[in-house]
Amino acid sequence: MVRAAMLLVVDVGNTNISFGVFEGTKLLEHVRCESARSRTADEFAVLVRAMLVLRGVDPDRIDAAIIASVVPTLTDTMVELVRRAFKREAMVVGPGIKTGMAILYENPREVGADRIVNAVAAFEWARSGVIVVDFGTATTFDCVTPKGEYLGGVITPGVQISADALFSRAARLHRVELALPPRVVGRNPVHSMQSGIVYGYAGLVDGLSARLKRELGYPCRVIATGGLARLIAPQTEAIEEVDDNLTLTGLRLIFELNEPGAKTAADA
């Protein structure tokens, strides 16, 4: 019996690094750690192998790996991590990698790898015009045309960044849990801040989504991902779907497109 290949996908963000393991098209496990710039490749190798073993994944079954990174100082560290922990050479999303998606940004090299990866997965989901809302360190909106072209988007301060700024700059406002308040009208400082953060960002999503759709001039579906998507998305009218693993799926799709013998597609 021939076992399915196992693929390690690595999404390096400014706050966290996500590691997913696919067996074929099935995501077996997903683990995360902090994007610690000071960690060495050896430290990451020990950590990632241990996390996978803890989840019941045999690290020695990893056949290949692909990395998307928005932290340049960690990109080479991740490549070395894959070499040391899995004895494989990782594919890195960047110039020269086929994505199957034309990039219409003024300078394609200035688009974050995670945004392209998300766009690829979102278009696979929608098969139409689509807007991706990613609640990461920054909250980003990425627009894909009905032809599957990456057009551009919007970058706003992330939910946590905005909350941290509020807590640090207002002497009498203290840090609160990012959670849904019982009502929009807060009756104490905690609920008032939670309302401003959660419903404020929900309003931002709805407002920007409406403006983007008007400017684009064609129907667009809206999908969300990122750490706080499941908190904010239900309070919006625009977001249709939340996919926590959108970036990991996009990495798998791009890897498959670049495997030997894959069909020719547009370069990034």
**Which residues have a catalytic role annotated?**
114
End-to-end CA distance of the chain: 37
224: left (phi over 0), alpha (psi -120 to 50) or beta: beta
What the block records as the tokens of 21 is 């393991």
Please, is 34 exposed, middle or buried when counting C-beta atoms within 10 Å of its C-beta (0-12, 13-18, 19+)? exposed
Rounded Cα distance, 140 and 161, in Å: 13
Provide the β-strand partners of residue 167: none
Q: Using a CB cutoff of 8 Å and minimum separation of 24, what contacts does 188-195 make?
A: 193/163, 193/166
Strand order in the sheet with 150-157: 150-157, 138-144, 130-135, 221-226, 241-242
Rounded Cα distance, 184 and 182, in Å: 7
Backbone phi, psi, residue 119, to 5°:
-60, -40
